[in-house]
């Protein structure tokens, strides 16, 4: 059992590490003429898709090439399921060392208000030698706000060797359309621990006695903001007053594969409906006196209805992509045959994390 | 258990394609050019041919407009030149005029017969004519591609 828990922990930790890795702010830089993972970096960056809502007819992209302050720059607006970024490619052939002042990047929104990127403390200025290039992803304000932008001007201060005043690289993007899928932010993977009391039983399952506690694990994968699929395992522990003599160590176990429908009321609040099909059975550490002849593993259908609250904005503009949430709701299971035939209802409290 | 974790982490990093060139953002005399869109995994094989897609963004940084003819684009492998078909992204034409400050995207397609080459790594060079200048990009073909 200890090994299984260790494996599950390592698995989840690996997934979160992978997710964090894909989301670093400044990606990579290198010297022209050396073997560095340049195309690897570009490929990685474009895993975040170009925002169609800002692409032009001529290129099918949002790309902007500029030659300012003596250095060449390339800008793209890109995004993933969580948030949007400005990807900047900078090539310094000015003959001097320059410093890119990433901490003082400024966005001018709709020609009126100003915004600054929500960096983490890890982001620093970047020194770029002559002949070197840098790729960086600068996080933009959250998607909900970004959807209201029609014009975005970006200013990056550049300080050249021996100069006190910065020169500003400026480029401007204009929106060409709205794509709802680019304007919503959501978790793709969610892992949850469900705990709660059993509150009602009916049918033959009632003969087993009254289980008093539910605990379970649940995993969801979302292929869009609203729709997903997952699997869950659940135990209902401790039979009391069983006519068949089940001890308090007995439990009903169940597992399901389910569809998940998620409705967001607010960016942090969602209602999850998880109908599924699976199996269930009876497990007891003590031998029972007369367990009957029913099968120990039977077909069942179930659903969970959960209200979830995320502790942080799903699209908070820093380098962290993982967030935590809690929830509450009900689980309802119905077994079709055997000792667990009948329905069971329980309350669930949920703790989970997603990315 | 630690080994299992390490294996899992390692497996996450094994599906990335090999490097075939490097990021190039540069200015010629009248044009700025970038190969940001080259995807190293999109080299594919079809009926004994290697199909190479190369995608570049071009901007006219001169004060005047320029006539472009990319019909004579080539890929040079081991000192032999092979024609490459380049077209504008939206208009699908090979000859066009670029106004001052205009940006466009060129999508190039090269077909290389595998049997014409020994199994080896080759540093090929893609050449795209832009008015009186030529944009050049290095593209690494690997011995595995010719097997």
The ipTM assigned to this model is 0.83
Residue A134's pLDDT is 84
Angle at A186 between CA A185 and CA A187, to 5 degrees: 145
For residue B95, what are its two tokens?
A: 């000859």
* B136 at A interface, C-beta within 8 A: no
Q: Which of B40, B57, B105 sits opposite A39 (nearest CB)?
A: B40
Measure B17 CA to nearest chain A CA, in Å: 8
- Residue in the block written with tokens 């893609």: B126
Residue A85's pLDDT is 87
Residue A230's pLDDT is 96
Q: Which of B8, B37, B39 sits opposite A11 (nearest CB)?
A: B8
CA distances from B100 to A171, B12, B67 (A): 17, 46, 11
pLDDT by residue, tens only, chain B of 147 residues: 555 555 555 555 555 667 788 888 888 999 999 988 877 777 888 999 999 999 999 999 999 999 999 999 999 998 899 999 999 999 999 999 999 999 999 999 999 999 999 999 999 999 999 988 999 999 999 998 888
Residue A157's pLDDT is 92
**Which residue stretches of chain A have pLDDT < 70?**
1-47, 119-123, 240-250, 284-296, 313-321
The structure's pTM equals 0.74
- Chain B neighbors of A89, CB-CB under 8 A: 23, 25, 34, 36
Cα–Cα distance, B5 to A100 (Å, whole number)? 38
Identify the CA nearest to A68 among candidates B64, B63, B27. B27
Per DSSP, the three-state class of A143 is helix
Residue A317's pLDDT is 47
Q: Is A5 exposed, middle or buried (0-12, 13-18, 19+ CB in 10 A)?
A: exposed
Measure A110 CA to nearest chain B CA, in Å: 23
* A74 at B interface, C-beta within 8 A: yes
């Amino acid at each position: 059992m200890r090994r299984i828990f260790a494996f599950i922990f390592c698995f989840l930790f690996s997934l979160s590490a992978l997710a964090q890795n894909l989301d670093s702010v400044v990606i990579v830089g290198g010297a022209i003429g050396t073997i560095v993972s340049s195309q690897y970096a570009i490929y990685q960056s474009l895993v975040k898709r170009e925002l169609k809502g800002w692409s032009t007819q001529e290129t099918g992209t949002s790309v902007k090439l500029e030659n300012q302050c003596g250095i060449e720059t390339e800008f793209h607006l890109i995004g993933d399921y969580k948030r949007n970024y400005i990807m900047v490619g900078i090539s310094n052939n000015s003959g001097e060392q320059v410093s890119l002042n990433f901490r003082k990047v400024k966005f001018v929104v709709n020609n009126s208000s100003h915004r600054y990127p929500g960096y983490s403390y890890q982001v620093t200025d970047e020194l770029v030698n002559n002949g070197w290039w840098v790729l960086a992803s600068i996080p933009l304000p959250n998607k909900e706000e970004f959807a209201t932008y029609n014009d975005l001007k970006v200013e990056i201060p550049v300080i050249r060797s021996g100069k006190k005043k910065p020169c500003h690289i400026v480029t401007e993007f204009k929106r060409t359309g709205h794509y709802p899928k680019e304007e919503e932010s959501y978790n793709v993977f969610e892992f949850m621990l469900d705990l709660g009391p059993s509150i009602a039983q009916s049918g033959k399952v009632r003969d087993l006695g009254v289980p008093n506690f539910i605990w379970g694990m649940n995993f969801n994968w979302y292929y869009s903001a609203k729709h997903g699929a997952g699997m869950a395992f659940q135990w209902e522990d401790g039979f009391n007053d069983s006519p068949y003599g089940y001890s308090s160590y007995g439990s009903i176990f169940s597992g399901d594969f389910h569809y998940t429908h998620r409705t967001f009321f607010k960016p942090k609040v969602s209602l999850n409906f998880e109908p599924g099909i699976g199996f269930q059975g009876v497990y007891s550490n003590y031998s029972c006196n007369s367990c009957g002849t029913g099968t120990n593993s039977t077909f069942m259908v179930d659903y969970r209805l959960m209200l979830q609250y995320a502790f942080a904005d799903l699209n908070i503009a820093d380098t962290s992509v993982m967030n935590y949430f809690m929830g509450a709701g009900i689980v309802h299971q119905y077994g079709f045959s055997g000792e667990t035939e009948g329905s069971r209802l329980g309350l669930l409290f949920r703790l989970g994390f997603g990315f | 258990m630690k080994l299992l974790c390490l294996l899992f982490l390692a497996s996450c990093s094994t599906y990335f394609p090999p490097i075939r060139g490097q990021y190039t953002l540069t200015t010629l005399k009248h044009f700025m050019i970038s190969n940001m869109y080259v995807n190293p995994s999109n080299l594919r094989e079809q009926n004994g041919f290697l199909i190479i897609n190369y995608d570049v963004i071009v901007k006219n940084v001169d004060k005047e407009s320029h006539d472009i003819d990319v019909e004579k684009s080539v890929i040079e492998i081991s000192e032999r030149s092979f024609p490459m078909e380049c077209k504008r992204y939206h208009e699908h034409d090979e000859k066009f005029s670029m106004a001052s400050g205009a940006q466009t995207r060129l999508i190039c397609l090269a077909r290389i017969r595998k049997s014409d080459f020994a199994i080896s790594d080759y540093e090929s060079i893609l050449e795209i004519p832009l008015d009186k200048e030529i944009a050049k990009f290095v593209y690494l073909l690997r011995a595995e591609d010719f097997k």
